[in-house]
Structure 1
Amino acid sequence: MRYKDLSPAVRRSLWPIIGLFVLLLANVLISPEFFSIEIKDGRFYGSLIDVMNRAAPVALLAIGMTLVIATGGVDLSVGSVMAIAGAVSAGLIVGGVDNIAIVIGGGLLAGVAAGFVNGFLVGYFGIQPIVATLILMVAGRGIAQLINSGQIVTFHHEAFEYLGVGYLFGLPFPIILVIITFVLVQLLMRRTALGLFVEGVGANASASHYIGINDKLIKLMVYCVSGLCAAVAGMIAAADIGGSDANNAGLWLELDAILAVVIGGASLMGGRFSVFLSIIGALIIQALTITIILSGVPPKFNLLIKAAAIIVILLLQSPEFHRQIARFKKAGGAQS
């Protein structure tokens, strides 16, 4: 079957997967042992495992961001929500709370509360998503700093630290959390009517309202899910270093999350979305980072190379870009 005979949906799915494959292949060419995986004490070790493990926070953010973008919104506050959730959990531990359920529950509750504020401002007050979430993006780090009393809070709690450095079934626990989150969200979006409601609100919120879909409630829900995913990512980050750094936790990761969703083929105008391809986008971003490091390129060129590679991937996904290439080939053939 030729490429032009493929459906648009298949074409959108094809390029992110090809992009990831090319990056992984480049890593193999640079470092032949890249795909080698060792098993020590029942745990898997290797560069490929490291890529997935380091991509976990962005992948979690991308899962929530996918649903927000699918409704035509955006959540710029997820990095700050990570800081808040990490600060809340760290504060509970330092405050003497030993119950892991309360520590994790506190972080999750903080994430849902942040998502509720964003969703309420966007859905029920009609504030532009970029403005509504920008408020918490700025204020959120201030809230986290207040919780931490302006300090970097360190702690030792084996059960909580398991979120960041633990292993389950031989895999780092952050990878397991991404898989669990993906499965739950995928079942919720594709095995119930919610996925259609989200796409409907993103495609045309007014029309969705007139056919009986509560577009305000849908927007509130997706921002709460985004906050919940950000909270999990924030607790992973805090557990990984054994502390809460309100200034640096999740810093600029909201941009990587948005980029991962776009690489996955989602439209920023809302409507279509794919949670799986957003995770592929997160893996592409991390794999690209590893590729640059392994290639020995001076650090000052890292961001430029990363931007150029992502532009290429996005162009390959663009139907208009392919139409322009086809016109160029047609014009060249006519001249010859």
Structure 2
Amino acid sequence: MSRVKTALRTPWFWAIVGIAVLLLINSIKNPAYLALSVNPTTGLLTGNLLDILRVSAPIIMIALGMTFVIATEGIDLSVGSMMAVGGAVAMQTLATLDDPTSVGAMLAAIGLALALAILLGAVNGFLVAVVGLQPFISTLIMMMAARGLARVITDGQNTNATNEPFRQLSNGQILGLPTSFVIAIAIVVIVALFMRRTALGLMIESIGINPKASRLAGIRPRPILLGVYILSAALAAVGGLFSVSEVMTVSVSGTGNLMELDAILAVVIGGTSLAGGKFSILGSTIGALLIATLNKTVLFLGIPAAATPAFKALVIIVLVLVQSERVRSFALGRSKSGGTPSLGTPSPGGSSPAAAGQDSPATKEVVA
């Protein structure tokens, strides 16, 4: 029973429930929705589940980078534009090389895209960590600048290219799974091991919980913040590469458009607080899968484009509500003290957070 209660209090558990419910709704409409088949032309597996995994790869990448930014009590509104920059550099590189169909051309395109993204991420980090700008402002500026840079790179035109190795990033398969999804999960595992097997993850969380205390403890926030924004930009560029490789075309206005919202939603659904502090890499990954499933469900159910945002908002609101322990307690008639709990009420046998000297998110001091 204790394990069940623990699972019910885990945010990403409800994300899994949300995915299952959405798949059930789709299966009710079409009983063959979850079926897999083999394409007789390519010999590859096809099916709606594989499509969901394929489209989830870019969301997983930007959500992973956003997780660490939010854990430091920041925000990165430029990830969608970073996707466009990465895709624009890749497509423009492949379109201008003498031998654009080789593996070397693919590696050159990927390398240049990541290099530019790292540079732009370093600018974000510099503005936040050194100059001291608010993350919202600095990344908002970069969101507009990076999108404009993508237009400059492609002369404002949608650019396409031909490179079979690059196309296989999204359209190929490894052990029956989309290549982009396998690569995304591999990156998640590598980053998770690095964060949890070293002290970096704890330092990121400490900066998000109390920047001043972490600095007094000997942690230098500036290089960590710089690295976090560089990682976010690089992962967003990888997500952009996944997006453009599926159709081998970059749309300077469409690629990555509003994807920063999906990234933030995925991170919050996964259990990472916007107030900073502890983060959940697994939760963000599952949240990204939920967003991808929701996007495919909207298309499958034929919901009008005008009503799509409202439908997505409704699903997210329901999910966030069931994640709330207070809402669940109220629904079950088990609200503490027989009424609505008060944020300032001390717990039995202990003092309130304010009395214990703990900082609330609204009173945290931001230290560069």
* Common fold: TM-score over 0.5: yes
Secondary structure at 1:124 match in 2: helix
Letter of the aligned partner of 2:189 in structure 1? V
Selected match of 2:185 from 179, 184, 206: 179
Q: Contact 1:30–1:294 (CA<8 Å) still a contact in 2?
A: no
> Cα RMSD (Å) of the superposition?
2.2
Letter of the aligned partner of 1:6 in structure 2? T
Secondary structure at 1:273 match in 2: coil
**Following TM superposition, by how much is the alpha carbon of 1:174 offset from its aligned partner in structure 2, in angstroms?**
1.2
Match in the other structure for 1:117: 123
Q: Contact 2:118–2:233 (CA<8 Å) still a contact in 1?
A: yes
Distance 1:7 1:166, change over 3 A: closer
Distance 2:221 2:55 in 1: 35
Match in the other structure for 1:24: 23
Q: Contact 1:97–1:103 (CA<8 Å) still a contact in 2?
A: no
1:6 corresponds to 2:13: no
Q: Contact 1:88–1:107 (CA<8 Å) still a contact in 2?
A: yes
Letter of the aligned partner of 2:270 in structure 1? G
**Following TM superposition, by how much is the alpha carbon of 1:2 offset from its aligned partner in structure 2, in angstroms?**
5.6
Deviations 1:182-224 (A, max 9, x none): 1111111111111111111111111111111111111111111
**Following TM superposition, by how much is the alpha carbon of 1:252 offset from its aligned partner in structure 2, in angstroms?**
0.5
1:45 corresponds to 2:46: yes
Deviations 1:129-160 (A, max 9, x none): 01010011011111111111122222112222
Selected match of 1:145 from 148, 151, 156: 151
Selected match of 1:206 from 194, 203, 212: 212
TM-score (norm 2): 0.84
User: Is 40-49 or 51-60 further displaced after alignment?
Assistant: 40-49
Match in the other structure for 1:316: 322
Match in the other structure for 1:305: 311
More helix by share: 1
Structure 2: tracts of 5 or more residues without a match: 340-368
Distance 1:71 1:48 in 2: 34
Distance 1:134 1:97, change over 3 A: farther
TM-score (norm 1): 0.92
Q: Contact 1:70–1:198 (CA<8 Å) still a contact in 2?
A: yes
Secondary structure at 2:23 match in 1: helix
Identity of aligned residues (%): 41
Distance 1:291 1:300 in 2: 15
Secondary structure at 2:45 match in 1: strand
**Following TM superposition, by how much is the alpha carbon of 1:47 offset from its aligned partner in structure 2, in angstroms?**
0.9
Letter of the aligned partner of 1:84 in structure 2? V
Q: Contact 1:43–1:171 (CA<8 Å) still a contact in 2?
A: no
1:157 corresponds to 2:163: yes
Distance 1:183 1:23 in 2: 26
Selected match of 1:240 from 246, 253, 260: 246
Q: Contact 1:57–1:233 (CA<8 Å) still a contact in 2?
A: yes
**Following TM superposition, by how much is the alpha carbon of 1:322 offset from its aligned partner in structure 2, in angstroms?**
3.0
